[in-house]
Amino acid sequence: MVWRFVVTTLLLGLGASGTVLAQVGALPLLQETLRHTTTETPATLPEPTALQTGWWQYFQHPDETVVQIRIEATLERLDALVETLPEASREAGRSSVELVRANLLTLPQIRDQATPQPPAPPAYQQEYTIKQMLELAEQLRQVRANRDVLETEIGASENTISGLGRRLDNLMVGYLALRPSDPERALQGLEIMAERISLMVAEERLRVERAELEVLRVRASQLVDEFEVARNRLSASWDDLLQIDLDIADARTELETAHGRLVREQSTATQIVGSSPADRATGQYRQQRVIKASIDEAIIRTRLSRLQMQRHLTRLLLDQALDTVDLRGQLDRWVMEHNDLDRQIQIWRNSSERERSRAGLAIASVDEIGTPDYSRLIVLNQDRFRLAQHSLVTLERLQVATQQNRRLLEQIDIELLQLEGWLRSLMVWSQLRFQDVIQGASGWIHASLFRIGDTPVTAMGLLRVLLIITVAWLFSYVLRRALTRLSERSDSRNLPAFYTVGRLSHYVIIIAGVLMGLSSLGMDFTNFALVAGALAIGIGFGLQAIVNNFISGLILLFERSLKVGDFVEIGSGLDGEVITGEVKAINVRSTQIKTNENIDIIVPNSAFMTNNVVNWTLQEPYRRMHYPFRVAFGVSKELVRKAGLEAAEKVPHTLSGLPGKNPQVWLVGYGENGYIFELVVWLTPSAVKRPQAVQAAFYWELETALQKYRIEVPVPQRDLRLREGLSGWPVTTDTSLPPDAT
């Protein structure tokens, strides 16, 4: 640490700036030194314009009186320094001094706070009653809840300390870059002092919180051990059984009263109200009263179930003769009742939270001041809010009561297993563990993850949406496969119709699946106009091209100007290049075209709406092709016709048997070197889609036929005549020319 202090002093003496320190690699060393160097407590007041290493240790002294004197002296010095700052910086300086004052006054109090000590080991009793066991379970629940809260607070404190440390590093870089005479240096020093003392307070609080957390962890461990001991040392008496019977009778009376109250609230809620805002608020208030009455009845019913469980457990402890089969069935019924109650609690909680939110918004949005129903509407909304809030608090009590009942169910099961034998015990234990896993998973998947409007979305809801969409997709897949098989068995000309039906069915089924999935979440589609408006804005800003291609694809499917299996030509827009190929699929955004070179080209659907498209197979799958060729003058025309027709017959792509579509040989003109003929043929549907290969096949056979009949194919010829004395040039004979060149 000494060599670090020497390096720091040298760098400060040279007046190095923060940029230079960073360039030479000394800045991290300097920050580490300023933050962690341990020296003796400085005896001089910290000066914001010239902060020394470890200046904050000035407030660390074993004598609290000395610390208090130093705090007062420091605050007096800082107040005086603020008055010397420029007017523009004085307000910021006062804010830093106030933060220093608040933290310095808080720091001694936190240091004086006694560190919590771990509790002493509990003294276990020889016997425990059922009530004592339940009290231990409740203490354990509260300690665990406090432990979880404190762990969250400690995590937040650690993040705060880390952030303060980074901020101090950045402030120190700027502080070292300023000259001592710079007015900004004093302001920067005040801010550093405020942040560093805040860091000290945060560290002291973190120390206390960690000590408290350790105490809670030890206490939780002790309660777990004591609870297990209490379960093994349970005892009961006949007086306990008599008292439980009396409590059961009282609980049944309370349950009848609560049920009658619930019936009255339900009857009141079914009464018709008007359509004014106050009447609607009255109806919602009555519905919340029904929920509140249902929760109150559930609490009494849960207490009655707990008393009945205690009665059975007491009888088991007293070794009374019980029908184990009947008790096992009752145990299973209690488990199912509590599982149903847990789901109902979640429903009540969601409804109460939604009602509290609506009432709060209604209170904030009432703008009918001066109307006759204004005061009534305000009171109704306030009552709705308070009632919903009270229902949520009561639900927490009900949740705790159900947890206590589950503890009793576990204990009854343990006592019952001892009577049933080890084999039955093993089977029931496995069943209970499986139920615990299912209940844990059920609690997670039914917890609200986020909200869409007033609708809570749970993991179970999302899984249900995915399941519905998956089923819709599978149904669409099976339907399209069936249509494909039907198209393969029928005439190939019906293939586009089957494809269109399959594609449109796919769109309809998927859209229906999505709507059904969203409806299963509880989403209200009555405000579909708002959704459509938001969707229209999204289309206008970023989805215009996608929607354009989708609508174009639907037009192509309905109009049938372009079908799967058609052979088309379309300009690609790249240097005038033309795409030629067979249509393989018409998808949501684009159309797939496969060329004869086995290349798949993806063309946006909108391109077929804006460009000229040549469809070779729109109406009929046949096409007439012209293949021109030349023969020498003087050759018999009939012989040429015979050779051409023979060549066409040898090519398997030639269509035959249809009236008006037989091969022909036409004489279409006279060329410079011979006659110009055309072989005119109609192609089969498969040949239409392979124009280049088919053209090569016809010319191949045509050349063979011309050679067979010794028909001469002319070559370009020129007659050259020279006159003597033309323009004064002599006539010469070039012996290098061929004999037939003139």
- Output the DSSP codes for 568-610: EEEE-SSTT-EEEEEEEEE-SSEEEEE-TTS-EEEEETTHHHH
pLDDT value of residue 257: 92
Least confident among 477-486, 529-538, 540-549: 529-538
Higher pLDDT: 549 or 543? It is: 549
- Evaluate if residue 564 carries a pLDDT over 70: yes
Residues 712/632, Cβ–Cβ less than 8 Å: yes
Per-residue confidence at 20, pLDDT binned at 50, 70, 90? very low
Per-residue confidence at 37, pLDDT binned at 50, 70, 90? very low
Average of per-residue pLDDT values in the chain: 78
Give the single-character DSSP code of 541.
I
- Evaluate if residue 556 carries a pLDDT over 70: yes
The dihedral sign for the CA sequence 29, 31, 36, 38: positive
- Evaluate if residue 735 carries a pLDDT over 50: no
CA distance 500 to 557: 6
pLDDT value of residue 598: 77
pLDDT value of residue 298: 92
As given in the structure block, the two tokens for residue 445 are 């998947």
Mapped onto helix, strand or coil, the DSSP state of residue 668 is strand
Average confidence (pLDDT) over 141-164: 89
Higher pLDDT: 403 or 434? It is: 403
Options 3.40.47.10, 3.30.70.100, 3.40.50.720, 3.40.50.11540; CATH for 620-742 is 3.30.70.100
Tens-place pLDDT, residues 43-54:
578 888 888 888
Q: How many other CB atoms are there within 10 angstroms of residue 698's CB atom?
A: 24
Planar angle of CA 610, 615, 619, nearest 5 degrees = 125
Per-residue confidence at 531, pLDDT binned at 50, 70, 90? low
Residues 384/285, Cβ–Cβ less than 8 Å: yes
Going from N- to C-terminal start, the domains of the chain cover 39-230, 236-446, 620-742
- Considering the chain, what percentage of its residues have pLDDT values greater than 90? 5
Average confidence (pLDDT) over 418-443: 65
Amino acid type, 98: E
Burial 184-214 (b: 16+ CB within 10 A, else e): ebbbbbbbbbbbbbbbbbbebbbeebbebbe
- Cα distance from N-terminal residue to C-terminal residue, the chain: 110
Tens-place pLDDT, residues 346-388:
999 998 888 888 888 877 765 544 445 567 777 888 888 888 8
pLDDT value of residue 671: 84
As given in the structure block, the two tokens for residue 532 are 């459509």
The dihedral sign for the CA sequence 118, 119, 120, 126: negative
- Considering the chain, what percentage of its residues have pLDDT values greater than 70? 79
Per-residue confidence at 9, pLDDT binned at 50, 70, 90? very low
pLDDT value of residue 246: 92
Residue 313, burial from CB neighbour count under 10 angstroms (0-12, 13-18, 19+): buried
How far is CA 271 from each of CA 153, 259, 376, 446, 492, rounded to the nearest angstrom? 49, 19, 19, 33, 66
Residues 318/378, Cβ–Cβ less than 8 Å: no
- Evaluate if residue 40 carries a pLDDT over 60: no
pLDDT value of residue 585: 79
How far is CA 10 from each of CA 13, 171, 185, rounded to the nearest angstrom? 5, 20, 20
pLDDT value of residue 43: 59
CA distance 380 to 122: 52
Residues 456/448, Cβ–Cβ less than 8 Å: yes
pLDDT value of residue 494: 57
pLDDT value of residue 297: 92
Mapped onto helix, strand or coil, the DSSP state of residue 456 is strand
- Evaluate if residue 335 carries a pLDDT over 50: yes
Planar angle of CA 178, 183, 185, nearest 5 degrees = 40
Residues 651/695, Cβ–Cβ less than 8 Å: no
CA distance 58 to 73: 11
Residues 185/178, Cβ–Cβ less than 8 Å: yes
Residues 363/385, Cβ–Cβ less than 8 Å: yes
Residues 590/602, Cβ–Cβ less than 8 Å: yes
Average confidence (pLDDT) over 54-77: 84
Per-residue confidence at 495, pLDDT binned at 50, 70, 90? low
Average confidence (pLDDT) over 703-730: 73
- Output the DSSP codes for 507-527: HHHHHHHHHHHHHHTT---TT
- Evaluate if residue 168 carries a pLDDT over 80: yes
CA distance 185 to 191: 10
CA distance 17 to 525: 64
- Evaluate if residue 651 carries a pLDDT over 70: yes
Tens-place pLDDT, residues 218-277:
988 988 898 888 888 888 888 888 888 899 999 999 999 999 998 988 888 887 666 777
Starting at the earlier edge strand, list the strands of the sheet with 567-571.
600-604, 590-594, 578-586, 567-571, 613-615
Give the single-character DSSP code of 613.
E
CA distance 198 to 196: 5
- Evaluate if residue 41 carries a pLDDT over 80: no
Tens-place pLDDT, residues 577-598:
777 788 887 877 788 888 777 7
Higher pLDDT: 738 or 81? It is: 81
Q: Which residues pair with 513 in a beta bridge?
A: none
pLDDT value of residue 366: 58
Closest CA to 628 of 680, 577, 672, 688: 680
Interaxial angle between packed helices 422-445 and 374-420, expressed in degrees from 0 to 180 and rounded to the nearest 10? 160
Give the single-character DSSP code of 492.
G
**Please, which residues have CB within 8 angstroms of residue 42's CB and are 6 or more apart in sequence?**
52, 54, 55, 57, 58
User: Look-up: residue for tokens 């297990």?
Assistant: 228
- Do β-strands 623-632 and 578-586 pair in parallel, antiparallel, or remain unpaired? unpaired
CA distance 233 to 420: 20
Closest CA to 589 of 646, 653, 624, 544: 544
